[in-house]
Amino acid sequence: MLNSLDLPTEPSKTRVVVAMSGGVDSSVVAALLKREGYDVIGITLQLYDHGAAAHRKGACCAGQDIYDARRVAEAIGIPHYVLDYEARFREAVIDRFTQSYLAGETPIPCVECNRSIKFRDLLETARELGADVLATGHYVASRRLPDGRRALHRAADPDRDQSYFLYATTPEQLDLLRFPLGELPKEKTRELAREFGLTVAEKADSQDICFVTQGRYSDVIERLKPGAVQGGEIVHVDGRVLGRHEGIIHYTVGQRKGLGLSVGEPLYVVRLEAKEARVVVGPREALATRLIRVTDVNWLGDVPLETLGEKGMEVAVRVRSTREPRPAILRSTGTSTTVELLSAEDGVSPGQACVIYESDAPRARVLGGGTIARTMAEVAPAAA
């Protein structure tokens, strides 16, 4: 007999470390597992200098959140520890985020935080505490396969599904990770929080990048890398110089507003050329992308990725967290991995994730993903 965490032990003899961010989701996970009789330990990570963000709504792992997690742990009667991961977080997440933006990319620090901090360093800490599993409040489903391995699936609540941010979870990590909220709608989580009498039952969800405590992303980059931002030209895809900018970090692919141009037609940022400090703009059709080269691929599929070859396999991919998976062909030769979208997507940006699913079904299995390194437009730019 397996317990609710798919382990062959009684709950009272199963130690679970819960990553408690101070929000309602992870708090409910801790309370649920405690009620089921598990040996629960709560851990909260201090990821950055939380003083400046202590009272800021929409951020996680800040001072108020640490306090909230501690109060929840006390209320449900579990041990709670706060670990200082600030130096590690800056090196693995903030510095990489900064370098990526300076390179003309649009990075996703939450993916790197999960990959490098929560599911590697924190998982190792959980092992040192004798934990059988590490549980989190993410909305994603983990299911046991017939051979004992675990597969990652989209969450039951499509509006809360976080599989896009967890594609980099490795098979070895999945063996030790559990996501108790993957089968629940968000409304049920709130209901449970009220049932448990948790002080965070009505707390707003975190939405922003946690270390951007005020202002814009570009403000953070300029503070961390003073002097690194260079101005340059804004150039039309047809070669015309339309104006100047104060740094490519102020732009993202697909952006229309805030370009400061008046040329009589709507223009969008088509690409950012970091070496030349150039922002390239054009009409909306210039954003259309059909081919994507993907690097740093994490593969969770059943067959080796390199065996797909040029013939490839039918999949569905997500190129932004706010978009639904779209049909595509995944090809991999062992030296390169590419995705061919069956219908063009606008605003596909280097640095974002391309997450691969077995289909576009609501509960589809996650097959992996990687970083978008290069895109090819369906409509080629006009010659200069």
Residues making up the chain, counted from first to last: 384
Q: How far apart are CA 177 and CA 181, in angstroms?
A: 12
pLDDT digits (tens, 9 = 90+) for 31-57: 999 999 999 999 999 987 644 433 444
In the predicted model, residues of the chain with pLDDT beneath 50 are 50-59, 61, 378-384
Q: Token pair for residue 196?
A: 């448990």
Catalytic residue of the set 60, 61, 110, 210:
210
Residue 332 known to bind ligand: no
Note whether 37 and 11 are within 8 A (CB): yes
Q: How far is CA 79 from CA 7, 71, 73, 199, in A?
A: 22, 11, 7, 18
pLDDT of residue 215: 61
Note whether 149 and 175 are within 8 A (CB): yes
Residue 26 known to bind ligand: yes
Q: How far apart are CA 329 and CA 231, in angstroms?
A: 39
Q: How far apart are CA 367 and CA 169, in angstroms?
A: 11
Strands 353-357 and 337-345: unpaired
pLDDT of residue 62: 55
Residue 312 known to bind ligand: no
Q: Token pair for residue 106?
A: 């649009």
Note whether 237 and 281 are within 8 A (CB): yes
Is 60 catalytic? The answer is no
Residue 22 known to bind ligand: yes
Buried b (16+ CB within 10 A) or exposed e, 323-360: eebbebbbbbeeeebbbebeebbbbbbbbbbbbbbbee
pLDDT of residue 247: 93
Residue 20 known to bind ligand: yes
Residue 25 known to bind ligand: yes
Please state the pTM of the whole predicted model. 0.90
pLDDT of residue 205: 87
Note whether 203 and 60 are within 8 A (CB): no
pLDDT digits (tens, 9 = 90+) for 211-257: 776 667 788 888 888 888 899 999 999 999 999 999 999 999 999 99
For tokens 């709560």, the residue is 42
Catalytic residue of the set 61, 110, 113, 354:
113
Q: How far apart are CA 305 and CA 146, in angstroms?
A: 21
Residue 1 known to bind ligand: no
Residue 95 known to bind ligand: no
Is 113 catalytic? The answer is yes
Instruction: Look at residues 84, 83, 69 and name the one whose alpha carbon lies nearest to residue 20.
Output: 69
pLDDT of residue 334: 79
Q: How far apart are CA 239 and CA 249, in angstroms?
A: 21
Q: How far is CA 251 from CA 277, 281, 285, in A?
A: 11, 11, 18
Q: How far apart are CA 250 and CA 273, in angstroms?
A: 13
